[in-house]
Structure 1
Amino acid sequence: MYKNVYQPSPRKPGEGRELSAQKTPYYAATAYRSDGIPKQQPSTERSWLKRFGKKRLPWGEPQNVTPDDFLRERAPEKLRFQADMRKEREERLALGTYVPAPYEYVDFHDRHDHERFRYSLWSKRSHFWIYMAMFGKGFFLVLLIPSIFASSVVIYVDLEPWEVVALDMLKNFLSWFIGLPLLCWMIGSLVIYKFPKLWVKPSRGPIWELNRRTGLVTLFDYNNNGEYKKNGTVGKITAPFYEFDAYLESGPDRQGSMNHVLCIAHRYRDIVINFSSLINVDNRWQMPCALWDFLQNYMDTSRPLPDLPRYEEFRHLDPTTAAHDLKTGRNPRFWIDMDDETYKQQLNQLLDNIDNIDTFKRPNLMARHVRYVD
């Protein structure tokens, strides 16, 4: 049914195999290669506060794992739907009848392809309406249960007069108090679904970027000594990927359970990227470790891109990946033609691999190139 829908961009003859003949290499000289890490200066000693609740993760020998959300967000069914939409768009463009979707050409500053993984948030205005609808719904449903219980007790249970009065007061209080979250839920949902111009607004720019082609990590600075407020100039704090160390940051939640999140910190400067908004905070340490393995695989130009659905349409554009796929005979439509049952098996296998990840059994291979002082 979908055989003629999804077509990767045409590959030029020899693309990915004759890089030496190109005047400008595809990868920058600073691109990260796990087999070409340079010797570096000893690390800067961290204060006890920066070490508190953080465990350094080892570099090297990453497994082919990734957070399961990365696999779910581009399931084969979604790939086929997107391919259908692109095909329909191209047909209408050819006929001159295409009408752009709302905000189709608005830059929301995020990118995630074969070249760069750039992360941004929605604007504060957008978050306001999303949180209004989300928390309004949550509080309404939470308060609805005791309200129904109080009403049922008054009707079906034989109570003392003072108990009836107390329950009536509780019921009246809940009935009044429950109206506020219900109103927030209704207004927020109305704005989100019917008035997108009121809430859809990109943020001022990206937060961080990992660039596979250059091997650089960039943190975007919107303070920049006041330059952003003066003339809109965004500062960029940039460093090579291999100068960052990964840490498992752990802390208790309100119930006392330990939650874990991944962050990467520059070895010599005060640059930290916290990935808590990339994947949900989890009480399993394996999930942040899987994210660290994914980041190493994504940035390593000596290895192909991680074999994920979102990269399938880009694989022929990355020289290392294209050469790998040509050598192994990988089906360029591996994910998009996958049936639902096979996809479930792939997802279950990934979850098993995450549970069995061996992060803390590995040596830190970066120690061959850096002397850690803490």
Structure 2
Amino acid sequence: MQDPSPEKMRYWEKFEKEKAEQKANGTYITRPFEHLELHYRHDHEVIRHAQFPFKTQFWLFLKGWGKWATIILIPIMALTHMTALYKLNEPAWELTKSLFIEVHSWFIGIPFICGLTGHIVVEYFPRIWLRAPKGPLWELNRRTGTVTIFDYKDFKKTGKIGEFIAPFYEFDAYIITNPDRQGLPMIGLSLAHRYSNKGMNFNDMIAPDNLAQKPCALWDFFQNFMDISRPLPDVPVHEAYRHLDPVTAEYDRQTGRDPRYWIDMDNDV
């Protein structure tokens, strides 16, 4: 809920302003993949969530995993190397030096190559990795007060996406707990429909951790968003849309809220 940052908001505001001017002047050049449908939406009416397909996620994961694995392993390997050099006498070190170098090369080299490959592909070859999702996973509609869960069970056969639509008040929130590799509880949020077996979890939206504050805050956010008697949650992503929601616009008028509260804020505040 902290995204986008004020700096990114100013960047996109400037971009949209320049885009409008260029279109008016007839000088606008369409960006690559500009018309790619990502099936994602988050404004004053709808929160619609979609996931990139596996191929796209693979390259993003390769880039991130390779980078951080390399950063973490370099000091560990350096410490191991110095410890072995200190503990072993010179003849023993000479016998094991080549083995240490080979092991270190494998441990650091593999994630480094993976991270570098992922970085090059993601940054310079978007046609290889960037793919649009088949469609959204779920949608919360503030205007209609409904939740839509999209079903892809028969998508390969029929090419159609199934939809389950129900009022938001028929969904109950649950804290879900799964153990990590050390057996520690990792906590996330899920919604389940009270009168069917339909549901959804939000682990891909907010990564589970061992505290319940984030899942509870997310549930609170969803409730506030879907309550049309209250203004939109005051988060950066909603600032550009607050004047379009009647309840929010009236609330901001009465409270004197600065319409550029987030966008003009310093990133470090």
TM-score surpassing 0.5?
yes
Amino acid at match of 2:101: K
Which of 107, 118, 135 lines up with 1:188 in the alignment?
A: 118
Superposed displacement of residue 152, structure 1: 4.0
Percent identity over paired residues: 45
Moved more, 196-205 or 128-137: 128-137
Moved more, 205-214 or 124-133: 124-133
Q: In the alignment, what sits opposite 1:261?
A: 188
Which of 229, 234, 246 lines up with 2:156 in the alignment?
A: 229
Show CA shifts across 1:287-329 (max 9, x none).
Answer: 1111111100000011111112211221121122222223333
**Which segments of 5 or more consecutive residues in structure 1 lack a partner in the other structure?**
1-69, 345-374
Q: In the alignment, what sits opposite 2:260?
A: 333
Residue 271 (structure 1) aligned with residue 195 (structure 2): no
Show CA shifts across 1:126-164 (max 9, x none).
Answer: 111112222223333444345434554566666153454
Q: In the alignment, what sits opposite 2:170?
A: 243
Which of 219, 244, 264 lines up with 1:292 in the alignment?
A: 219
Q: In the alignment, what sits opposite 2:25?
A: 95
Superposed displacement of residue 107, structure 1: 1.0
Q: Distance between the aligned counterparts of 1:171 and 1:112, measured in 2? A: 51
Q: Distance between the aligned counterparts of 1:197 and 1:248, measured in 2? A: 39
Q: Distance between the aligned counterparts of 2:166 and 2:18, measured in 1? A: 42
Which of 243, 247, 254 lines up with 1:316 in the alignment?
A: 243
Amino acid at match of 2:255: T
Q: Which has the higher contact order (CA 8 A, sep 6+)?
A: 1
Q: Distance between the aligned counterparts of 1:340 and 1:169, measured in 2? A: 48
Q: Distance between the aligned counterparts of 2:64 and 2:31, measured in 1? A: 25
SS, match of residue 178 in structure 1: helix
Q: Distance between the aligned counterparts of 1:99 and 1:122, measured in 2? A: 26
- Which structure has more helix as a fraction of its residues? 2
**Which segments of 5 or more consecutive residues in structure 2 lack a partner in the other structure?**
none
Q: Distance between the aligned counterparts of 1:257 and 1:155, measured in 2? A: 36
Q: Which has the larger radius of gyration?
A: 1
Show CA shifts across 1:238-285 (max 9, x none).
Answer: 111000110111233223332211111111100111011111212111
Amino acid at match of 1:200: L
8 Å CA contact retained: 1:154, 1:167 = no
TM-score, normalised via structure 2 length: 0.91
Q: In the alignment, what sits opposite 1:165?
A: 95
TM-score, normalised via structure 1 length: 0.67
